[in-house]
A and B are shown apart, each in its own frame.
Chain A
Amino acid sequence: MLKAAIIGMGRMGVTHFSILNNHPDVEFVSICDSSNFILKNFNKQIGIDVYTNYRKLIDKSNLDFIIVCTPTSSHAPIVKYSLEKGIHVFVEKPFTLTVAEGQELVALAEENKLVNQVGYVNRFGEVFCEVKKQITDGLIGDLIHFKFEMYGPTVTRPTKASWRSKKREGGGCLYDFSSHCVDLINYYLGMPDKAVGSILKKIYSEGVEDAVYTNFVYKSGVTGQLMANWSDTSFRKPLYKIELQGKKGKIVADQHAYKVFLMEANEEKGFEKGWDTRYVTDFSQDVRFYVRGNEFTRQLDYFVDCILGKEKNDTSTFADALVTDQIIESIIKDYEERTNK
């Protein structure tokens, strides 16, 4: 039985607790949060040990792994302390606020041979995984151009209440929202050579951007665009729309389905010439326990399986997330250079 703890019991921390609490190989022994409401109720309901100081929790809990779901600015010190104590770490996205911090953590995890993962949950989403497979298998041929969009109603009026509106804590659309989309670009195509024409646009927030628009250029000649806006109330919940054009055709996908346009039929894969749609119901797999989406369960079960040696720790690792952070930094750098900030 693996002994586990969660630092940061906000929405994601509570979700992760719920998902792994029934896992046959996991036992939660402690949680840490700054909210007395959370700590008091968890202790009262299930008798778990509670802490307000993560160092004390780590020192006293004899853990196998830890899940870190605090605001992004505190990821680096908590993850570092955990790795130094020989504890496997799952940390929520985005990884860290500076590439330098991320590099140190990647090295430390490798040095101590610890399983490490960042919560880029789309890498466990069924449609996105299928699309990745189709691209890798060459269904649409060599890639020419992509367009990744992400919209949602996260911030719909001026607000200062949450850490999400504070830049130094890792708030803002770029880090907190669009990083999911940036990571998909990283997952499918890797690090671009450069970001150009970047725009970080404020809509309602004062201290942070609410929308991100940028273009990517790869040495291979592939180009692409990212458009993310977390202040778009026309969407009921966050929506992804990704489009990849290749020399043999095109893929258009969201969380529910993907459409393929092929210039010639691909009999081996069963795709007709012209448009052909695959719905998530065609290939969806049930999970051990479902709350908020089966990709959330899949990502944590994968993490546990990596610790148990059943899976190879090779996706959504610290190293992968560091590349995503590097892409994010390149967008900020491009924007600041252009606007002389």
Chain B
Amino acid sequence: MKLDRIIFGDNQFFGINHMSEEKAQAQAQKFKDVDSIIKVVDTAYDCGIRAFMFNTHDKVAHVCDHFRANPERYADISLYPSMPYAHKYAHAVNEKGMTGALNDILIKGNSAKQIVTAVKRGFSAVTKKDMAEMMKLLIDAEMKMFRGLNVKVIFLQNIVTDLLYGLGFKNILREYADYITEEYNVEPGFITLNLPGLVDFLIECGIENPIVCSGINKIGYLMNSDRESYEEAIQNKPFRPMAMSILASGAVPPREAVEYITSQKNIRSIVFGASSKAHIEETKNMIEQLGDTIPMELSRSVPEWSRGQVTGNRDRIPTASPKTPNRIIEIPREKNSNRGVSIENH
């Protein structure tokens, strides 16, 4: 599987700005309705961008509905979902406690029959105190919005990735990677604010040649423990780096930012977000002009599964455009009576 060189990010749509609360609020206002988000996505698509990273925000479910309703318009689109949308969970847990929050999340968007299955599965996970099983339930709940769409990588957000890394929960990260690979037929990805340490940890977990996405910028902003260790890791460690936050919340001018990123030759993909046509075009062109060197794609040992030759779930049937024959998201099927939420489009 080849990662897209340019991926359009979504922070700007959800009032996320690490530099200024005022800007964040202004953006949140600008993208209050889903149509305004779709308009910018269309602008990016029409500029030739085909890859989009979306967090599992409620609004994204509506954007995905739009993609499904217009399969020809978005025939070549690739999605890179990231989960969870952490604030959604923090809210739910604050208000309803852990179990109440879990039930809410499992119930949402399901039919009565599915709710029975999901709650039964959730109840089983809770009573067995099985963290991995609960994680799988939540992945299924989060991924429902992407059904029928072409997904390339499913990312775990930094708040979860880095927490699990810090806790030393190797099995859970490994189970995440296996579940995404086996059940969804796509590659797992990891977003982090601690790239060098995380890469070592993922390799220790047995996750080979991982896809790791991190803020990477010229001034070393939020690159822990420091920029030099990032550069050293990107140069020497066996993983596939993706860069985001390249402008460091606006602290680095675009040209300098792109020059720096494209000088880090092993970076596979660059994620950037913008709201205006001019900014989208400018950044895209700059990346293409300055970064015409395609990074080494297969110079390292790439495991079987990361090339998309998966072992399980061979019976999936693509439901989108024939141009994108692989990795159409199907919701995992039931393997046995108490496992797997059977989801169809209702």
Contact of A290 among B96, B129, B224 (CB under 8 A): B224
Within 8 A of B (CB), among A241-283: 254-257, 279-282
Name the residue among B19, B97, B126, B167 with the largest chain A CB count within 10 angstroms: B167
Give the contacting residue for A281; candidates B97, B163, B172, B249; CB below 8 A: B249
Enumerate chain B residues within 8 angstroms of A45, measured Cβ to Cβ: 131, 167-172
In the assembled complex, the CB of B252 is this many whole angstroms from the nearest CB of chain A, namely 9
Minimum C-beta distance from A252 to chain B (A):
11
Closest CB-CB distance, B17 to chain A, in whole Å? 8
Given A282-B251, A286-B220, CB of A153 within 8 Å of CB of B129: no
Whether, in the assembled complex, B197 has its beta carbon less than 8 Å from a beta carbon of chain A, the answer is yes
Complex Cα gap A41–B98 (Å): 15
Contacts of B336 in A (CB 8 A): none
CB distance from B287 to the nearest CB of A (A): 22
Tell whether, in the assembled complex, residue B18 and residue A256 are in contact, meaning their CB atoms are under 8 Å apart: yes
B221 interface residue, CB < 8 Å from A?
Answer: yes
**Contacting residues, chain B, for A164 (C-beta < 8 A):** 94
Within 8 A of A (CB), among B197-245: 197, 219-227
**Structural contact, B225 and A286, CB atoms closer than 8 A:** yes
Are B221 and A281 neighbours in the complex by a CB distance under 8 Å?
yes
Segment among A15-23, A61-69, A74-82, A179-187 that sits at the interface with chain B? A15-23
Q: In the complex, what distance in Å separates the CA atom of A289 from the CA atom of B87?
A: 22
CB distance from B88 to the nearest CB of A (A): 11
User: Is residue A36 contacting chain B, with contact meaning CB distance below 8 A?
Assistant: yes
B165 to chain A, nearest CB (A): 8
On whether the beta carbons of A159 and B222 are closer than 8 Å, the reply is no
Chain A: interface size category: 35 or more
Q: How far is the CB of A282 from chain B (nearest CB, A)?
A: 7
A100: B residues at CB distance < 8 A: none
CA distance A18 to B91 in the complex (A): 21
User: Are B126's CB and A37's CB within 8 A?
Assistant: yes
Would A155 and B166 be within 8 Å (CB), given that A36-B129, A256-B20, A286-B226 are in contact?
A: no
Q: Mark A285-302, 1 if CB is under 8 A from B, else 0.
A: 011111110100000000
Chain B residue, CB-CB nearest to A157: B95
Contact present for A21 and B167 (CB under 8 Å): yes
Q: Is the C-beta of B194 less than 8 angstroms from some C-beta in chain A? A: yes
CB pair B87–A236 under 8 Å, yes or no, is: yes
B21 CB contact (under 8 Å) in A14, A15, A155, A254: A254
Note all chain B residues with C-beta closer than 8 A to A46: 167-169
Which single residue of chain B is at the shortest CB-CB distance from A292? B159
Q: From residue B159, how far is it (CB to closest CB) to chain A in Å?
A: 7
CA A294 to CA B224, docked complex, whole Å: 9
B97 nearest in chain A by CB position: A161
A153 to B15, CA, bound (A): 15
B193 within 8 A of A: yes
Is B28 interfacial (CB-CB < 8 Å)?
A: yes
The reply to whether the CB of B303 lies closer than 8 angstroms to some CB of chain A is: no
Closest Cβ of chain B to A194, distance in Å, is 32
Docked Cα-Cα span, A156 to B162, in Å, equals: 28
Q: CB within 8 A of B96: which of A154, A161, A236, A237?
A: A161
User: Is A287's CB under 8 angstroms from B94's CB?
Assistant: no
Given that A15-B163, A46-B169, A291-B166 are contacting pairs, would A256 and B129 also be in contact in the complex, using a CB cutoff of 8 Å?
A: no
| Best-surrounded residue of B87, B163, B171, B219 (most CB of chain A within 10 A) | B163
A103 at the interface (CB under 8 A from B): no
Contacts of B258 on A, CB cut-off 8 Å?
none
Query: Is A339's CB within 8 Å of the partner chain B?
Result: no
B134 nearest in chain A by CB position? A37
Interface flags for A187-210 (1: CB within 8 Å of B; 0: not) read: 000000000000000000000000
Q: What residues of chain A lie closer than 8 Å to B248, measured between beta carbons?
A: 281
**A 143-169 binary contact with B (CB < 8 Å = 1; else 0):** 000000000011111010110100000
Q: Which of B21-79 contact A (CB under 8 A)?
A: 21, 24, 28
Q: Which of B162, B166, B171, B197 has the most CB of A within 10 A?
A: B166
A284 at the interface (CB under 8 A from B): yes
A14 contacts B225, CB within 8 Å?
A: no
A85 within 8 A of B: no
A37 and B224 within 8 A (CB): no
Q: Out of B87, B129, B249, name the residue touching A279 (CB < 8 Å).
A: B249
CB–CB B167/A14 < 8 A? yes
* B94 surroundings in chain A (CB, below 8 A): 154-155, 162, 164
Determine the residue in chain A with the shortest Cβ distance to B226: A286
Instruction: Name the interface residues of B141-169: CB closer than 8 Å to any CB of A.
Output: 159, 162-163, 165-169
Interface flag for A312 (CB, 8 Å): no
Indicate if A40 sits at the interface (CB-CB under 8 A): yes
**B166 x A289 contact (CB < 8 A):** yes
Least CB distance from A288 to B in Å reads: 5
CB of B109 within 8 A of chain A? no
Within 8 A of B (CB), among A93-138: none
Chain A positions 21 through 38: 1 when the CB is less than 8 Å from some CB of chain B, otherwise 0: 110000000000000110
| Beta-carbon contact of A284 and B171 below 8 Å | no
Which listed residue (A11, A279, A288) contacts B19, Cβ 8 A?
Answer: A279
> A217 an interface residue at 8 Å Cβ cutoff?
no
Known: A257-B19, A288-B224. A18 touches B87 (CB 8 A): no
Contact B225 A288 (CB under 8 A): yes
Residues of B within 8 A of A279 (CB): 19-20, 249, 251
Complex interface: chain B residues within 8 A of A256 (CB) = 18-21
B167 touching A18, Cβ below 8 Å: yes
| A239 interface residue (CB < 8 Å to B) | yes
Q: Contacts of B222 on A, CB cut-off 8 Å?
A: 284, 286, 290, 294
Min distance, Cβ A258 to any Cβ of chain B, angstroms: 11
B100 proximal to A (CB < 8 A): yes
Provide 28 A-B residue pairs closer than 8 Å at the C-beta atoms, listed in order of the A residue.
Answer: A11-B93, A14-B163, A17-B166, A18-B162, A18-B166, A22-B197, A36-B129, A42-B167, A45-B169, A45-B170, A45-B172, A46-B169, A154-B94, A156-B91, A161-B96, A161-B97, A236-B24, A236-B28, A256-B20, A257-B19, A281-B249, A284-B221, A287-B224, A288-B224, A289-B197, A290-B224, A291-B166, A294-B224
In the complex, the 6 A-B pairs of residues with the closest C-beta atoms, listed nearest first: A18-B166, A281-B251, A290-B193, A290-B224, A40-B129, A161-B97
Apart from A45-B168, A161-B95: 4 A-B pairs, beta carbons within 8 A: A15-B163, A36-B129, A236-B28, A256-B21
